[in-house]
A and B are shown apart, each in its own frame.
Chain A
Amino acid sequence: MSKQELILPPMGALGFVRYTWRQLTSMKTALILLFLLAIASVPGSIFPQRGNNPLRVNEWIADSPVSGPIFDALGFFDVYSSPWFAAVYLLLFISLIGCVLPRTKVHWRAMFAPPPPAPRNLLRLPESMSFEASASADEVLARGRKYLSDKRWRLLVAENSVAAEKGYLRETGNLLFHFSLILILVAIALGGLLGWKGNVIVRTGQGFSNTLTQYDAWGGGRFTGASRLSPFSFTLDKFNVEFERSEAQRGAPKLFEADVTYRRVPGADAENVRIEVNTPLEIDGAKVFLVGHGYAPHFVVRDAGGEITFDDNVVFLPQDGNFTSTGVVKIPDSDPQLGFQGIFVPTAASNNLRGPISIFPGPDDPAVFMSAWRGDMGLDSGAPQSVYRLDTAAMEQIGIVALRQGQTWTLPDGSGSIAFTGFERWASFQIAFDPGKEIALLGAVLAITGLLLTLFIRRRRVWITATTNTEGVTVVNLAGLARIESADLPGELQLLCSVVSDLPDTASARSTDEMREQK
C-alpha cells in the first residue's frame, strides 16, 4: 500500500454534532449502554436503598463512618434516582429514539414500495431450483402469481418474472417493541409526577382518614398536591392472623387479613370489606394494601402519688420473623422526664439464656422487657424525634425488668410504676395512587406483542422466472432469500414449485444442492 496521507475535510460544528449523533444512535453504542445499564443496576441490589429501607441505610452509614458518607454522596443508597443511573437510561432512550425514528421512515416507505425485481441469475442464490414445466411460461407465472397473492405476499410482476416479499410485520413488531418501551418510560414518569404513596400504621379499633397529617410516611410527585387526596376514611375493626404450627416452616405466616369499615367520603354509607395481602381495597383509583402487622402492648404508668400519667397502647415495631418487637413509652410531663425502652415478645423463650427473643410469632406467652430511664429526653432541642426511639444521651437508667401480662413494676427509685396490662394488634397499610400504571401495562402488552412479531416472523423474498427455451420447453427458475437463515424457506420453495408446475409431487424438480453434487 502506498503511504498516502488521508486528508479529511474539516468537520465543523454541524459535522461534529452529526458525528456525535451517528455514534450515539449506532448499534454498538446501544449495546454498550445496555451493558452499562445492567452494571449500573447492580449496586442497588447490594446496598440498602432509601426507597425500600431507609432505616437500614442509616444503620449502614452509622456503622461505617468513613465509607458510608462517600457511598452516600455517590448515590449508592439511591441508585435508581441517582444522576449517573438516569444518565445511562436517558442516553439509552435517546439512542433508541435516534435509531427507531429513521427506521420507521424507511419501513413506512418499504411498506408501500414493490419488492425488488428478480436478479439476473437466480440460481446463484443460496436457495434456488430449476426445473422444466409442461405448462407455458405465462401459465406458470400466472399460477405463481395467484398462489403468492392468495398467501398475501407483496408482488412485483414483470414480463417473464414474479418477485414477491413477505414478513414486513417483523420490522413492524421491532418498531412496536421499541416504541412501547418509550411508552413504559412515559408511564413511569407520569406515575412519578402525578402519583403518591403513603404508609400508615393503624391499631385495631382505630381509624384513618386520607389526609397528609395522618400518614407516618408520605411521598408524592411534583404535581401531587395534598388537596388531590380523595377524602376516604376507614376503621380497622379486626385483624386476623395465623401462623404455621407444624414442624415444617414453623412460624411462617399462614394468613393475615384486616376487616375494615370504610367511607368513600365523609358522611357516606359505611361499607365493610376484608383487605388481604393479595386483595387490596380500591377507592377512587387509590389502592389500600395490607403490607405488615405487629403488636401494640398496653401500658399504664403512674407517678409517685399513684396518679395515672399514661394509659394507652404503644405500637412496637417487629425486628424479626418471630415478632420480637421494640418500642418506647415517653412521659415528657413528669419531672424529671421518664422514658421506657421496651422489647415485646409474643412468645417468650422458656429458658432465659437467649435473652429477650421471641420463639414464635403468635401470642402464646407474651412478655415485655422494660428498661426505665430518667432525665432529659432532649425534646426541647426542637429537633424532630422518632416515636420509636428514646434519646438516652442525657438520661440515667433506673432499672431493667421482665413483665408478664398483668404485672406491675414499681420503679426502684420510687418515682412511680408501670404496668403491662395487655396488647392489641396493628396493621400497616400502604396507600398508593399511580395514574401511570394502566399505561405501563399497555406498554408492556404492546412490547411483548412486538417482540413475538419480530422474533418469529421471517422476512423473505422469492422470485420466479419462466422462459421458453429454443426447444420450446418452459424452464422455470425459483429462488428465495431470507435476511436470517430460515429453515422454512426450502419447504416454501418446494411448495411453490409444486404449485407452478401443477404436480402433486415434485420428483422432477432438482434442488440446487443436488445439482451441485452431481457436477
Chain B
Amino acid sequence: MSATQLAAASNAAVYASMVTLTFAMVSFAISFASGRRRVAVVAPVPHQMNSSGSTAVLTRSAGGTPTNDQTGIRSANIGMSLTWLGFVVLLAGVVLRGVWAGRVPWGNMYEFSITSALGILGVFLLISLRRDVRWLGLFIVIPALLTLGLAVTVLYTEAAQLVPALKSYWLIIHVSAAIICAGAFTLAASTAGLALVQSRAERRGKSGLARVPSAEKLRTLTYRVLAFAFPLWTFAVVAGAIWAENAWGRYWGWDPKETWAFITWVIYAAYLHARSTVGWRGDRASWVAIAGWAAFIINYFGVNIFINSLHSYSGV
C-alpha cells in the first residue's frame, strides 16, 4: 500500500470505529433506559420499598415486566459485541497509522488520543472478560467517543517524522504506560461517579440505577482499578523522569507536564489513603478518584494546548 492509501485506510478505520461505537452507545443507552423504566413500573408498590439492601432490589426485579428486562439484557449484549468490534477496528486504525508514519503512533496529540480511546476500551474489555460489567458500557463508550471526536476534529494532524526529542525507546515505555493509565483512570472515574449516584439513591432509600451494582461494589471496583493503575502511573512518571534525565539533563524540573503528573499522582495517593481513613472511605474517596482523573485530563488537554511546556508535542 502506498502512503496515501495507508493514510486513507487508517482514517477510515478510525471513522468506522466511531460509527460502531455510536451504535454501541445507543445499545447501552437502550439497556440503561429499559432498566429505569422497569424500576418506575415497580416503584408504586409500597411494602416492598420498606425493605432495604440488596434483597429489596432482587424482589423488585422479580416483579418487573419481563419484556423490558429482556430488551435491556439483549441490547447490553449487542452493545458489548459492538464495543469489541469498535475496539478491533480502532486497533487497526492505530496500527495503520503507525505503519504510515513508520514509527509508534504516539508522536502527536491526535495519535495519542486515538490510542487513549483504545486504552479506555481495552481496559474495559479486559475487565469484562473476568466479570460482568455490561452496565458500565455506556459510561465507557461515551468518553471513548468524546476522545475520538476531539481527535478527528480538533487534534487531527498528518503523520510526520518524530521530532528529535521523541526519538527514544523511552517513548514506547513511558507513553504506553500513560495510555493504559488513561484507560484505567477514565474507567475508575466512571465507576466512582456511578458510586456517587448509587450512594445518593441508597441514602434516600431508593434502589438507584437498575443493573448497576450497589455503591459499595462500585467503590470496590474503583479501588481495584486504581490499585492497578497507581503503580503503573508511578512507573510512567519514573520512566518519564529517566527519559528527562537523558534528554534534558535533569530527572525532575517542574515543567508543567511534570507538575501535573505529580499532582495526579498525589491525588491518587490521597485516594488510596482515603480508602483506609475512617469517614473518607465512601463518597469522599469517590470524589477524590474523580479529582485525580480531572488532574489527568488537565494535564493532557490543558498543558498540551494552553501552557508553554517542554512537552508541547501536540502538533496542533
Contact = CB atoms under 8 A, between A and B. Distances in A.
B273 A27 contact: yes
B201 to A, nearest CB: 22
Interface stretch (B9-17, B22-30, B76-84, B152-160): B152-160
A108 B185 CA distance: 35
A46 B270 CA distance: 23
B46 interface: no
Interface string A30-70: 11001101100110111001011000000000000000000
Interface in A444-486: 444-445, 447-448, 451-452, 455-456, 485
A197 B158 CA distance: 38
A58 to B, nearest CB: 15
Contact of A444 (B108, B238, B247): B238
B168 interface: yes
B277 A31 contact: yes
Interface string B142-173: 00000000000000011111011101101000
Interface stretch (A228-236, A310-318, A433-441, A491-499): A433-441
Contacts of A447: 234
Contacts of A93: none
A31 B274 contact: yes
Interface string B200-237: 00000000000000000000100000011011001100
B157 A46 contact: no
A52 B253 CA distance: 8
Contacts of A451: 230-231, 234
A103 interface: no
B58 to A, nearest CB: 13
Given A244-B161, A277-B164, A34 B307 contact: no
A255 B164 contact: yes
Question: Which of B161, B273, B303 gathers most chain A CB within 10 Å?
Answer: B161
B249 A45 contact: no
A42 B303 CA distance: 12
B163 A252 contact: yes
A430 B279 CA distance: 49
Given A38-B263, A244-B160, A444-B241, A280 B246 contact: yes
B230 to A, nearest CB: 7
Interface string B233-270: 01100100111011111111111100110110011011
A277 B234 contact: no
Contact of A52 (B157, B165, B254, B273): B254
Interface residues on A, range: 35 or more
Given A255-B164, A278-B165, A45 B157 contact: no
Interface in B273-292: 273-274, 276-277, 279-280
Nearest to A34: B270
B315 interface: yes
Given A31-B273, A38-B295, A254-B164, A437 B245 contact: yes
Nearest to B267: A38
Contact of A41 (B164, B249, B259): B259
Contact of B249 (A197, A279, A448): A197
Interface in A201-215: none
Majority SS at the chain B contact face? helix
A261 B158 CA distance: 39
A320 B4 CA distance: 31
Contacts of A291: 248-249
Contact of A246 (B157, B160, B234, B250): B160
Contact of A455 (B160, B161, B230): B230
Contacts of A80: 254
A222 interface: no
Contacts of A24: none
A51 B254 contact: yes
Interface string A410-441: 00000000000000000000111010010011
Interface string B75-105: 0000000000000000000000000000000
Contacts of A441: 238, 242, 251
A432 B256 contact: no
Contacts of A289: 247-249
Interface string A190-227: 00000001000000000000000000000000000000
A3 interface: no
Given A31-B274, A440-B241, 11 more contacts: A41-B259, A248-B157, A253-B164, A278-B243, A289-B248, A430-B248, A437-B251, A441-B238, A447-B234, A448-B234, A451-B230
Interface of A: 27-28, 30-31, 34-35, 37-38, 41-42, 44-46, 49, 51-52, 79-80, 188, 197, 244, 246-249, 252-256, 276-280, 287, 289, 291, 430-432, 434, 437, 440-441, 444-445, 447-448, 451-452, 455-456, 485
Interface of B: 108, 157-161, 163-165, 167-168, 170, 220, 227-228, 230-231, 234-235, 238, 241-243, 245-256, 259-260, 262-263, 266-267, 269-270, 273-274, 276-277, 279-280, 295, 303, 307, 315
Closest 8 interchain pairs by CB? A248-B158, A249-B160, A45-B256, A289-B249, A34-B270, A430-B249, A278-B168, A45-B259
